[in-house]
C-alpha cells in the first residue's frame, strides 16, 4: 500500500519526530510551570557555615552585608533570592516571573526553562519551514483566499520564533555571565551587587558558569 511505501522511504519518520517534539514541548511547559522554582520555606534558616562558604566562593562580596528578612513573607532570604509578589513567595536565585508560565523562573526550574525554550524553538523553526513549503505565490484574489490560513500561520510562527530566539539568546548570555535577569536589570538596587568591588562577583568564566548551571 501507499502507507507501507512511505514507511519504507522514511517519509513517516519526520512527522513522527515532529509530533514527539511538540509533545515534549507541551510536557516541558507543564513541568516548568507547575514545579517549585525554588521557594524559600519559612522553616529554613541560613546557617553560619553556609554564609562562610559563600564568602569563600565569592570573596569580592563585602562581609558586612547581612542577609535580611523578607518584608512580605518574613523568611530570611538567601543571597540572590527575591520575593515575587505574584507568587507570594521568596524564590532562590530568582530570575523573573514568566507570565506565559504563570510561575517564577528560579534556582530549580531555570535549566528546564532553557531546555523548554530550545525545544520550542526547534518546533517553531520546523513548523515555519513546513508552512513556507506549502506556499506558492500568485498575484490573484483567489490565491489569497486559498492560502490565507497558511499565510497567517507562517506570520504567527515567524513572530513567535523571533520572540523565543531572543529569549533563548538573552538567557544563555546571562547564564554564561552567571547573572540573572533580575540582577541584570536591577543591579543598582541590589545591596550585594551595589557594594561589590566587581560589577559581577559571581562570574567565574564562561565554561565554569555554564557547567555549574547545567550540571
Residue 183: closest CA among 166, 165, 167, 171: 171
Beta strands in the chain (DSSP E): 82-84, 89-91, 96-98, 103-105
Enumerate the β-bridge partners of residue 156: none
Please name the residue that has the C-alpha cell 551595589.
194
Which residues are marked as active site?
98
Amino acid at each position: 500500500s501507499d502507507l507501507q511505501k512511505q514507511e519504507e522511504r522514511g517519509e513517516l519518520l519526520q512527522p513522527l519526530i515532529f509530533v514527539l517534539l511538540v509533545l515534549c514541548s507541551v510536557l516541558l511547559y507543564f513541568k516548568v510551570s507547575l514545579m517549585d522554582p525554588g521557594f524559600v520555606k519559612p522553616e529554613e534558616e541560613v546557617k553560619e557555615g553556609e554564609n562562610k562558604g559563600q564568602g569563600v566562593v565569592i570573596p569580592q562580596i563585602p562581609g558586612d552585608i547581612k542577609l535580611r528578612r523578607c518584608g512580605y513573607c518574613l523568611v530570611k532570604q538567601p543571597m540572590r533570592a527575591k520575593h515575587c509578589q505574584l507568587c507570594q513567595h521568596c524564590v532562590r536565585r530568582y530570575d523573573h516571573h514568566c507570565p506565559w508560565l504563570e510561575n517564577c523562573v528560579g534556582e530549580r526550574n531555570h535549566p528546564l526553562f532553557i531546555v523548554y525554550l530550545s525545544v520550542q524553538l526547534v518546533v517553531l523553526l520546523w513548523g515555519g519551514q513546513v508552512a513556507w513549503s506549502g506556499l506558492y505565490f500568485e498575484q490573484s484574489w483567489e490565491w489569497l483566499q486559498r492560502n490565507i490560513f497558511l499565510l497567517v500561520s507562517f506570520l504567527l510562527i515567524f513572530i513567535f520564533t523571533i520572540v523565543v530566539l531572543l529569549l533563548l539568546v538573552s538567557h544563555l548570555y546571562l547564564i554564561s555571565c552567571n547573572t540573572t535577569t533580575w540582577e541584570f536589570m536591577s543591579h543598582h538596587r541590589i545591596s550585594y551587587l551595589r557594594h561589590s568591588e566587581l560589577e559581577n562577583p559571581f562570574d567565574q568564566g564562561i565554561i565554569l558558569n555554564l557547567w555549574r548551571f547545567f550540571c
